[in-house]
A and B are shown apart, each in its own frame.
Chain A
Amino acid sequence: MPDQSNMTGVAVVTPVRVVIALCLVAPFVAMLWVGSYAKTDPTWIGIPFFYWYQMAWVLISTALTMVAYRLWQRDQRARASRKGGAAE
């Protein structure tokens, strides 16, 4: 990997990319840790925690994927312009 970073002048692992990775990994941790949400209380409008919590994660993971998407776009654009600058 050091070869690549020398070529473009940008490291492969950057703070932005770490954030992107975290956004994408978080749903896996939350959803696969079933013990953390396999309970009835607190209920919401009569729906047990188990159900509404997972439904809430549909929205949370969507938001996280959107953040990842925006950050990735910005990251790619920054890299492209830097690369273009280096080539000139």
Chain B
Amino acid sequence: MKDGVNGVALGVFIFFFLAVTVMGFLAARWRKAENEHSLDEWGLGGRSFGTWVTWFLLGGDLYTAYTFVAVPAAIYAAGAAGFFAVPYTILVYPLIFTFLPRLWSVSHRHGYVTTSDFVRGRFGSKGLSLAVAVTGILATMPYIALQLVGIQAVLDVMGVGGGDSTNWFVKDLPLLIAFGVLAAYTYSSGLRAPALIAFVKDTLIYIVIAVAIIYIPIKLGGFDDIFAKASEKFTAAGAGGVVPAPGGQWTYATLALGSALALFMYPHSITATLSSRSREVIRRNTTILPLYSLMLGLLALLGFMAIAAGVKVQNGQLAIPQLFEDMFPDWFAGVAFAAIGIGALVPAAIMSIAAANLFTRNIYKDFIKPDATAAQETKVSKIVSLLVKVGALIFVLTMDKTVAINFQLLGGIWILQTFPALVGGLFTRWFHRWALLAGWAVGMAYGTFAAYGVASPTQKHFGGSAKEIPGIGEIGYIGLTAFVLNALVTVVLTVVLRAVKAPAGVDETTPEDYTADAGDPGVQAELTEAAH
């Protein structure tokens, strides 16, 4: 690693950072509605986004800075196994094609802002809705923390923040400034800020990837050389070659499937989805979002390039920023770092808004102050979005990075356990609310316990997300095993509970709600009604 501050790169980085800060504050005036003090306005951008805004917003939201740093870092460290992110994002789109439009429709008819709102309305169960909300908040917090880790990696490589000897305040000052600014414009502009900044973020990212994927292989002598060197490294390390061994294939497939099922259970994915203008916007987006997957695949290959380029870092997270610094001229390295840095701000903003919406709608309004007005809801949401970010910041500054990574891993396992209630609920009312709650609890408990028991060379617990699947004997993703267990418990208990005629709760939705589109009777009317 180079010593000292890279002045040119830092200058470019600061330029872009200032530019998006101005945009973030101006975003409040973008497509401003008459009723600005409602949660629909602040937390869902007025539910007004069309195909392209939604595309940028979702892309900026799902493909985070951490993804850009972590996926190639996984390839750099583990080889082929890290490439599961590509089949994972391939499977997401046909999957959401089937259920997301239904969620959009029912949410518009009933003014739902969060997934927990839907679960409560569908199953008439505040307990189940609370479980979904708490899971969502728990899973989102470490995800926000990891965005900070992404920014830190970039700052580290630029030489900002100093070495271990520097005073902690000076060392963390750049990060504190970045997050202070982020918090301020999220507070004032709501979801409009990340939506607008996402344009800059994605444009930068696409430029950087396009250049990197052509420029770096030319400098390194082509893909033949790159893969030959990578293969050499992994064979020498006894980790197989650049293709997964038969023993790793179950892990690969279950990780891809489990992650795909989990992605749209995350509150921030749903927030971006519900902000879209119509049902068609979502379906159309499932056909254009895969562009990001292609980019992710190319990005993943950078992990191999880092090996071939002889990048040697202790912390794998630094591999890609370091590769950029070594390979690119200073000014372009600055552009690449800005892309990653801004790439962290967009999802962090959306995630904190999503977590805040969950708290406001499903804890504050349901349990603390049922008669809260729309203006009060918005106010609480704004304050909670600040608290969530401060929490994430403290998390990153006081604890080891591995803690954030461990929790994020657990978060993925946890959030998958809300699938039966949410997606099951979108298609059928057959499941019993208590059975869903029991299934969720079993899945959460098994997933946490199993992950606790995974050791790695560096950690005794939470060392990975794969473990032997009971009864099959192959190594598979814990989250998926927990999900299957969850589904089994839910089905069996539903049969039992229906047999004993346990009270099923009131369903406030009707079958037509799930296919309603913008312009249909009831959708717009009820929407404005709910907003007042």
Interface residues of A (CB under 8 A from B): 23-25, 27-28, 31-35, 38-40, 43, 45-48, 50-51, 54-55, 57-59, 61-62, 64-66, 68-69, 72
| CB proximity of A77 to chain B, nearest CB, Å | 12
Q: B94's contact among A28, A38, A40, A48, by CB below 8 Å, is which?
A: A28
Alpha-carbon distance A59/B290, docked complex (angstroms): 8
Using a CB–CB cutoff of 8 Å, the interface residues on chain B facing chain A are 80, 83, 86-87, 89-91, 93-94, 97-98, 222-227, 241-244, 246, 249-250, 252-253, 256-257, 283-284, 286-287, 290-291, 293-294, 297-298, 301
Q: How many A-B Cβ pairs are below 8 Å?
A: 105
Q: Is the CB of A57 within 8 A of B90?
A: yes
Known A32-B87, A48-B242, A55-B294; 6 more pairs at CB < 8 Å: A31-B87, A40-B242, A47-B223, A54-B86, A54-B297, A62-B291
Q: Please report the C-alpha to C-alpha distance between residue A10 and residue B263 in the assembled complex, in whole angstroms.
A: 35
> Is B253 a contact partner of A34 (Cβ separation < 8 A)?
yes
Q: Chain B nearest CB: distance from A72 CB in Å?
A: 7
Question: Which one of A31, A39, A45 contacts B256 once the chains associate, using CB atoms below 8 Å?
Answer: A31
- Docked CA distance A74–B297 (Å): 33
Residue from A24, A32, A45, A51 within 8 A of B253 (CB atoms)? A32
Docked-complex contact A58 and B249, CB < 8 angstroms: no
* C-alpha gap A38/B249 in the complex (Å): 8
Evaluate contact between B90 and A31: CB separation under 8 angstroms: yes
User: A50 and B243 in contact (CB under 8 A), knowing A55-B294, A58-B86, A69-B284?
Assistant: yes
Min CB–CB distance B345 → chain A (angstroms): 26
Answer whether A61 and B253 are a contact pair too, CB < 8 Å, given A47-B223, A50-B80: no
**Cα distance A42–B175 in the bound complex, in angstroms:** 46
Q: Which of B90, B94, B246, B294 has a CB less than 8 Å from the CB of A35?
A: B246
Given known pairs A27-B90, A32-B256, A48-B242, the reply for A59 and B223 (CB within 8 Å) is no
A61 to B97, CA, bound (A): 12
Min distance, Cβ B33 to any Cβ of chain A, angstroms: 29
**How many angstroms from the CA of A50 to the CA of B223 in the assembled complex?**
14
Could you tell me if B294 and A59 are in contact, using CB atoms closer than 8 angstroms? yes
- Contact (Cβ within 8 A) B94 A27: yes
Knowing A34-B252, A50-B242 touch, does A58 contact B94 (C-beta < 8 A)? no
Cα A47 to Cα B225 in complex, Å, equals 10
